[in-house]
Amino acid sequence: MTYQEFKETIYKTVTNRYDSRANVHLSTYTKNNDVKLDGLSLSRKDSLVSPTVYLNDFYPLLDQGASIDEIVQKIIATFENAKGVKGFHPKEISDFSKIKGSVFFKLIGKESNQNLLKDVPYMEYLDLAIVFCIMVNLKDGEWGSILIQNHLLECWKLSKEDLFEFAKVNTYQLFQPSLTPIEQLLQRMISPEEQDLFPTLTPSFPMFVATNSRQANGATVICYPDFLRKISESMNTDFYILPSSIHEVILVPMDNGININDLTQMVQQVNKTQLEPEEVLSNHAYYYCRQKNKIMY
């Protein structure tokens, strides 16, 4: 079955299952780095939440032996689990005082998101872009977000600079920074049976993973005031920043044996072979100078 046939079959089957109890919509969504995904969403008269699943994620299940009916059941289960989640009423979103405590920012690539940035307020940061979102609390401690578009900013009668001031405070509170030696992460990732191999996995020079407490959009911590300065003071050295994804960065203390061009090649290789396209942040390494308290590239 081709992907187009799969998409049409799933849409028709889910629509028939819900009949008149809900409206099912199939749309193309533009995600980070201009990645296009086919989203199946559900809207009910008695709910403000319209859950969306991306069919691109379900298509590989066919090759794994799943039937269309099994895939449909998974999609319906996702929709049903979203019932009862508190959504934002349109009037709440239009009133900035109602949601100002939920506004946060995240980092994305600027060059790779030119189409997206036409429709959203953003601030330039290095060769990246800071964009703004509203946090939505879901069930069981889970959360989602709504990307703030230009029309909302106009509705609120705010400038992007005003929005940034609110987001700065909220982002730090909602997404506390985290710094972990990379060998500790390696220890958590390997099984007890593989512990004997651990020494071969430890890097020959210290490396640290910087992210946030939710481990989502964690590369944004490089924008936090004084975060990098305090790290450089504790290390007593400048360091390189490897944007390993939108979710975290790797910090490598400066060493005469390390070349930033080699690190950039490493970043590019990881982006090509290890990451989903929408998770890529940048294609080169950065350098933090503690004397200037500044990131350079």
Report which residue type is found at 78. T
Question: How far, rounded to the nearest angstrom, does the alpha carbon of residue 19 sit from its chain's CA centroid?
Answer: 34
* Phi/psi of residue 17, nearest 5 degrees: -65, -40
Residue linked to tokens 């996995």: 201
Listed residue (144, 164, 143, 145) closest to 153, CA to CA: 164
- Fill in the amino acid letter for 172: Y
Residue 72: per-residue pLDDT: 97
Cα distances from 120 to residues 87, 102, 199, 214, 251, in angstroms, run 22, 17, 47, 24, 30
Task: Extract the tokens encoding 267.
Answer: 């970043």
Half-sphere exposure in the Cβ direction for 164 (13 Å, CA): 15
Q: Give the pLDDT band of residue 77 (cuts 50, 70, 90).
A: very high
Q: Cα separation of 287 and 85, whole Å?
A: 43
pTM: 0.85
Orientation of helix 3-18 relative to helix 68-81, angle to 10°? 50
> Is the confidence at residue 204, as pLDDT, over 60?
no
Please state, in angstroms and as integers, the Cα–Cα distance from residue 104 to each residue in 49, 166, 172, 175, following that order.
20, 8, 9, 9
pLDDT band at residue 51 using 50, 70 and 90 as cut-offs:
confident
**Residue 256 amino acid letter:** N
Assess whether pLDDT exceeds 90 at residue 242. Answer: yes
pLDDT in tens, 130-188: 999 999 876 667 788 889 999 999 999 999 999 999 999 999 999 999 999 987 765 55
pLDDT value of residue 185: 63
Span 200-225, average pLDDT: 84
Domain map of the chain by residue range?
Answer: 3-81, 90-174, 177-296
| 3 state DSSP class of 111 | helix
Q: In Å, what is the CA distance from 160 to each residue of 121, 135, 276?
A: 6, 18, 30
**Are the C-beta atoms of 14 and 75 separated by less than 8 Å?**
yes
Q: What is the mean pLDDT of the chain?
A: 89
What is the per-residue pLDDT across 117-128, written as a single tens digit (0 to 9) for each? 999 999 999 999
pLDDT score recorded for residue 198: 47
Using a pLDDT cut of 70, give the percent of the chain over it: 88
pLDDT score for 203: 53
Burial group, residue 4, by CB count within 10 angstroms (0-12, 13-18, 19+)? exposed
Alpha helices for 190-226 (secondary structure H)? 198-201
Tell whether the model's pLDDT for residue 44 goes beyond 80. yes
pLDDT band at residue 278 under the 50/70/90 scheme: very high
Q: What is the pLDDT of residues 261-277, one digit of tens each?
A: 999 999 999 999 999 99
Model pLDDT, residue 201: 47
